[in-house]
Structure 1
Amino acid sequence: MRLVLLLLLMTPVSAIAANEFTTQAVDAMMQSYAGDAPGASVLVLRDGVPLLRKSYGLADRETRTAATPATNYRLASVTKQFTAAAILLLAEEGRLSLDDGVRRWLPSLPACADSITVRHLLTHSSGLIDYEDVMPADFAGQLHDADVLRLLERQDKTHFTPGTGYRYSNSGYALLALIVERASGWAFADFLRLRIFRPLGMAHTLAFVEGGPAIADRAYGYSESADGWNRTDQSTTSAVLGDGGVYSSIDDLTRWDAALYDDRLLSDESRKLMFTPHVVTDEPDIRYGFGWRITGETLWHSGESIGFRNVIVRYPQRRLTVIVLSNRDDPEPYATARKIAQLAIGQEP
């Protein structure tokens, strides 16, 4: 099986026949996730119809619970597209402007944040210091979005003048969650649930808050060591919601993907803003929109957190989407998702 997988991954896309987009071909790519290993769920959509909807391995190794298409994984930074959507909804309603200074909403930020706008936070062009770089080494428990604000209140500089560069910033998206709360009057998790997830029928998707609603069909995260797989489900930063706290499944993400093609949630103008290549990133072929990376014909975002690796890759002109969610620390699934997409593209009429 390993030889089959190696040959498949090395085969040029041009050599893959159209009829080879089969469950067997994807099974070969996903073989390392099968059995008693931490698992993965894979979704391939064309025109909203699943070409493939399948899960591999275990969502919970301790109880030997198999992963299914309903399994909810911590999305990590795939969350950022939902945070961006929340901001755009509030902008549509006139409750905030993308060009508002962040200190209008978070006045306790230091003077170095004077020229940072909401738009800069969305595009990682604020220059903010990353909260993970300034956390106390002896911090006990879990950090929350409000704790991120307290850490940034003590910083007296940014990496560059806001709006003049790009630096991926989890800090920025934690602050966006707080802005959603202040502009709406709702807790961030409640805003996502009531304004995004419930209207779209994403019944089991949520921003997880300890003591709040439980995660249905939950996948637990694992990391591999010389001793095998060890549960590494939560870290000190896992409770920060705006940059990575949403749990969802491939079944619920089917509904999210559909909503990105029409105005059932966001207006045409908001979706255009979300998918506009606003800034050049630190990789010359990748631009950043609002919560989305833009590469050629694709809109995509990965998510990496302790015990989880995920990616969503959309080809909107082809009406094709590939999603891979996994509850393990390795490998990063972007290359696999692209390979699966090329199999589907090879099958196009």
Structure 2
Amino acid sequence: MKIPLFILLACIINMPKSTAKNHDEVKHYNKQSYERQLTKLLTSLNEVTGVPGFSVAVVHKGKLVASVATGFSDIKSKLPAKPNTTFRLASVSKVIGATMLAELVINDQLNPDVSIRQYYPELNKKYHSITVRQLLSHTSGMPHYQIKDYDIYDAHFDTAVEAAKTLKDRDLLSRPGTEYLYSTHGYTLAGALYEKITKQPLTVSVENFITRWSGKETPAIENINDLHERSSRLYELSKMGGSEIVFGEKSYSVFGAGLYASASDLAFFGGEVLKKAKTQKPYQQLLFTPTTTQDGNPVTSRNFDVGFGWRIAKDLHGRKVYHHAGATPGARSMLAIYPEYDLSITFLSNSSWISSIDKFVFALAGLYIDSVKPETLTSTEYHINNNGKSLQGTASCQENECLLTDSTTDYSRWLNTFNVNKAAIKQWPVFFYSTEQGQRLLMVNKVGITEFDGKGNHFEVNTGKDQTYSIQLINQKLD
């Protein structure tokens, strides 16, 4: 059979900017205005990327302040994606599993720093020196997907202990505790440990946990033989648009990739994690303290540290954020929570696509946190500069959206190398806003939504390798 390919995701690197506004002073969008802007941005993103369906939800201080969906959950039947549509979570499942294990630690049922042999003595001896903290921080030495995994997508496993057989006694890639090696199989083992400790299958434990924490219907374990009635279909991007693909098994790693949810239910879960971390300090310390290797160095990967399963980072404006993203055939997902703002945001989609998902989800959250206001334009002249190349033109606009023509700069040509199912983009949708700190521009593109901050109608972003892409608006006509 064909082995599914798990996509390595491209990141657009942006330098953090300082945040002038204190989180206690933030004035937020009203729900209708915020949802309108999210809908416009996501609809444009559907068109540019070819991804059939998106869903976004935002919970602030325990209340749902936005819940929107765009595109289709089922192209063939022309069923639109709705706010209650459920999507695969892919690796976002990992932070649900990690938080479940954290609850065992807080309740003195699990020591995260002792050998897992204490809880699972029948494991192969090569795994005995691993700890739960190492499994969740990807420092156990367990490998990620390998050629020998060709058969795990067809078999159904009723329990995580049974699914642990898929580990096939594979060798460790490094000595436990010495280096970061991302591994879904580590979470397969973590799920089996949870069952060993609680003496309950995850099919029971996950539902009970979500009921205790958020009281919502999802996240829940996906059963491809009994799909949720509101489940989105799965798609891959092709020249013909979104091509439907079959549901492969995810029961081989419930904690690693096996859950599904609606965007709003997942956002409420994120809100509950923030609540627990605020009211019970042991959760804050356990989940969001960077893990260290045996030599005392923080466990890091690219632009985040790794805690107890959760990623610890800062957004484009230097705000602290805990998050995790996921990609699997038929899904691209993210959950991000802002502890200083008591805000949780989720983004779900029904196709795997190369995207700088963290950057654009942070940008969507920033619309709310920074109380941005759309600036309505009827037309504008613009100058674009990138890596020694410059161009100019005139854009017609509707409300705060304009189309800027650029098919020649290095940045636009680079963006068009991704998700090539769609024709090369020549006209880029850009959305204009004002904030108390200045101006903001969001550009919709093949890998997501890029945020530019600006002043005096001049916007600039760092595109990497000491290069910038700048847009100057000239003689714009306001409505």
TM-score range normalised by the length of the shorter chain:
0.7 to 0.9
Query: Higher relative CO (CA 8 A, sep ≥ 6), structure 1 or 2?
Result: 1
Q: Which residue of 2 aligns with 1:7?
A: none
Greater fraction helix: 1
CA contact (8 A) 1:300 1:313 kept: yes
Partner-residue secondary structure (3-state), 1:180: helix
- Can you list the C-alpha shifts for 1:10-68, whole angstroms capped at 9, x where unaligned? 9x999xxx999744543343123279962111123333334422110111223222211
Using the TM superposition, give the Cα deviation of residue 183 of structure 1 relative to its aligned residue in structure 2, in angstroms: 0.9
Q: Which runs of 5+ in 2 are unaligned?
A: 1-13, 19-26, 293-297, 315-319, 373-435, 437-479
Equivalences for 1:36-115 in 2 at 5 Å? Answer: 38-115=52-129
Q: Which residue of 2 aligns with 1:5?
A: none
Within the alignment, does 1:292 sit opposite 2:310 as a pair? Answer: yes
Cα distance, 1:127–1:13 mapped onto 2, change above 3 Å: closer
Q: Which residue of 2 aligns with 1:123?
A: 137
Cα distance, 1:309–1:37 mapped onto 2, change above 3 Å: closer
Q: Which runs of 5+ in 1 are unaligned?
A: 1-9
Computed over aligned residues only, the root mean square deviation of the Cα atoms, in angstroms, reads 3.1
- Can you list the C-alpha shifts for 1:111-135, whole angstroms capped at 9, x where unaligned? 32221111111211101122x2152
Q: Which residue of 1 aligns with 2:330?
A: 307
Q: How many residues align?
A: 333
Q: CA–CA distance in 1 between the matches of 2:142 and 2:238?
A: 34
CA contact (8 A) 1:299 1:313 kept: yes
Quick check: 192-201 or 217-226, which moved more?
A: 192-201
Using the TM superposition, give the Cα deviation of residue 107 of structure 1 relative to its aligned residue in structure 2, in angstroms: 3.2
Partner-residue secondary structure (3-state), 1:240: helix
Within the alignment, does 1:142 sit opposite 2:149 as a pair? Answer: no
Structure 2 residue corresponding to 1:217, chosen from 227, 230, 237:
230
Greater fraction strand: 2
Q: CA–CA distance in 1 between the matches of 2:126 and 2:308?
A: 23
Using the TM superposition, give the Cα deviation of residue 173 of structure 1 relative to its aligned residue in structure 2, in angstroms: 0.7
**Counterpart amino acid of 2:267?**
T
- Can you list the C-alpha shifts for 1:78-132, whole angstroms capped at 9, x where unaligned? 11111112212222333322123122333343332221111111211101122x2
Within the alignment, does 1:196 sit opposite 2:214 as a pair? Answer: no
Q: CA–CA distance in 1 between the matches of 2:126 and 2:118?
A: 14
Structure 2 residue corresponding to 1:29, chosen from 41, 59, 76:
41
Q: CA–CA distance in 1 between the matches of 2:254 and 2:138?
A: 17
Q: CA–CA distance in 1 between the matches of 2:153 and 2:35?
A: 45
Q: CA–CA distance in 2 between the matches of 1:158 and 1:37?
A: 37
Structure 1-normalised TM-score? Answer: 0.84
Cα distance, 1:163–1:111 mapped onto 2, change above 3 Å: same
Quick check: 49-58 or 171-180, which moved more?
A: 49-58
Equivalences for 1:161-240 in 2 at 5 Å? Answer: 161-197=175-211, 199-211=213-225, 214-235=227-248, 237=250, 239-240=252-253
**Counterpart amino acid of 1:231?**
E
Q: CA–CA distance in 2 between the matches of 1:23 and 1:96?
A: 42
Cα distance, 1:196–1:204 mapped onto 2, change above 3 Å: closer
Partner-residue secondary structure (3-state), 2:352: coil
Using the TM superposition, give the Cα deviation of residue 264 of structure 1 relative to its aligned residue in structure 2, in angstroms: 9.7
Q: CA–CA distance in 2 between the matches of 1:117 and 1:111?
A: 13
Cα distance, 1:34–1:53 mapped onto 2, change above 3 Å: farther
Q: Using the aligned pairs only, state the percent identity.
A: 25
**Counterpart amino acid of 1:337?**
V
Structure 2-normalised TM-score? Answer: 0.62
Q: CA–CA distance in 1 between the matches of 2:135 and 2:310?
A: 13
Q: CA–CA distance in 2 between the matches of 1:19 and 1:138?
A: 49
**Counterpart amino acid of 1:154?**
D
